[in-house]
Structures are given as structure tokens and as C-alpha cells.
Amino acid sequence: MTDLKPTVALTSVNSENMSRHQMLDWVNRMVNGQFRKVEELSSGVAYCQMMEMIFPNCINLKRVKMMAKLEHESFHNMKLFQGALTRLKLDKTIPVDRLIKGRFQDNFEFLQWFKKFFDSQAPGMENMKSAANVAQQPKPIKAGGYHAANTAKDECAKENLQAVMEELDQKTQDVLETRDRAYEKLRQIEILLTKTIQNNQHVAFCNRICEVLYKTDDEQQKQEENSEDEEQKEEIQLEQRQEQEDDINMGMY
């Protein structure tokens, strides 16, 4: 991994004097993006991409949620970004909770810091990137007849299949992360209950919650069946009482 330069110096064009539009243009040039508002940078996608440009292999871009819209997706990306900074031993804590809310001021201030950081770590890269974008020309389509057409179709099919596989991998990763978060929350609840019981506080209530936490699927099913049986019994008893009351009322007349 590339060594981290010790200073985050101001660039020749002070980022604090750049407008929001100039800053967005810079981001879009660097990542070939289409960000229209500073608030959209709260997704963390652009920061992960630019970190990977400066320090190759510092972030696995396959793990980045490129279409992040929701807060938990942005949180995931920002944590990847924070992890890269931590591995580089940069003493900078990202205000993730504020950034993912998508407020302009928080995101603009952080973008100003990142612009300084980017320029201090990769001086000249912006000019190289701009030159590459200008020089890039569309490749001409070569005439190759039937064989070339089939080859193009095969390549397109492979790309589509690869995209589907990557999407499935991402969904699988999302499910696993959701499962792990749920497990961690249950684990914290279990620890809290154990400490409360050890302190001899609300013991009966905590034990009832523990029974729910430790209950197996079979036990849960049996409880539901027993509950249904009890409800049926109550309905039958209610009907019997109603019939008895009707008989008594009929006898009175």
C-alpha cells in the first residue's frame, strides 16, 4: 500500500474558496460521476472510488454499494472509507452519523477537507485524469461479418451474466451483514439481561425474556399450537355459556 504523506496541505486552488459547483465538477471529473448535489456525496461512493485511486487496493470496490440511497447503505460505504483511513494510520474520524443524514453543510465541509487531503496525497493526479478523459475516444466498430456479430453477442451475454452474479453476491453480502447486525443486537440484549439477573433486579421478567430468546423453532410451534387450542376452548366455553343463558331466558318466558 502506498505510504501516506504526513501533511494535508492547501492546494494552489484553495478548496475553501471553491464553490459547490466547482467542487462537484471536480468530483465528477475524478470518478466520471453524475453527482448533481453535494448532498448526494453522503452515499460515500465517490470517496471510496477516489481513495482507491490514491491508494490502490485500500478498498475492495466490489463491496461498495454503488447505488446507495438509504442511510444504512451509505453507512456501509462510509465505514469502508473510514476503514481505509484507519489502515493508513491517518488520525481522522469521519462524522459518519452526520454525513449520512444528507445535510448540505456537513457534507460540503467534509468535501473541502477531502479535497485538501486528495491534493496533498496525489498532486498532479487531477491533471492526469482530466487529460485522460479528453484523450479517450470511442473505439471504432470493426466489420467482421456473422462471426464478429456472434462474438459480440457472446461477450454481451457474458457481461450480463457477470453483472447478475455480482448483484447476487452483493445481495448475499447484504443479507449476511443484516444477519450479523441482528445477532449482535440479540447478544447485547442477552448480556444486559444476564447482568440484570446477577444484580437480582427484575429477575422474573428477565427470565421470561430469556425464555423467548432461547426458544427453539419446535418449542415456538408447540406454543403457538397450544395457544390456538386455548383460544378454541375459550370460544367453545363462551358459546356454551351463551346457550345456557338463552335457555334460561326462554324458560322465564
Question: 154-172, pLDDT tens digit by residue?
Answer: 777 777 787 788 788 788 8
Average pLDDT, the chain: 79
Other residues' Cβ atoms within 10 Å of the Cβ of residue 171: 10
Please give the pLDDT value at position 7: 46
In terms of phi and psi (left: phi > 0; alpha: psi -120 to 50; beta: otherwise), the region of 33 is: beta
Q: At what angle do helices 203-214 and 145-198 cross, to 10 degrees?
A: 150
pLDDT digits (tens, 9 = 90+) for 19-44: 899 999 999 999 999 999 999 999 99
Question: Are 24 and 39 spatial neighbours (Cβ–Cβ below 8 Å)?
Answer: no
Contact 35, 28 (CB under 8 A): yes
- Residue 27 phi/psi, 5-degree rounding, is -60, -45
Taking the C-alpha atoms of residue 231 and residue 46, their distance in angstroms, rounded to an integer, is 57
Q: What's the pLDDT score for residue 251?
A: 64
Q: What percent of the chain has pLDDT over 90?
A: 31
Q: Provide the 3-class DSSP secondary structure of residue 142.
A: coil
Question: Above 50 in pLDDT, residue 213?
Answer: yes
Task: Look up residue 135 and give its amino acid.
Answer: A
**The C-alpha cell of 218 is what?**
419446535
- What is this structure's pTM? 0.49
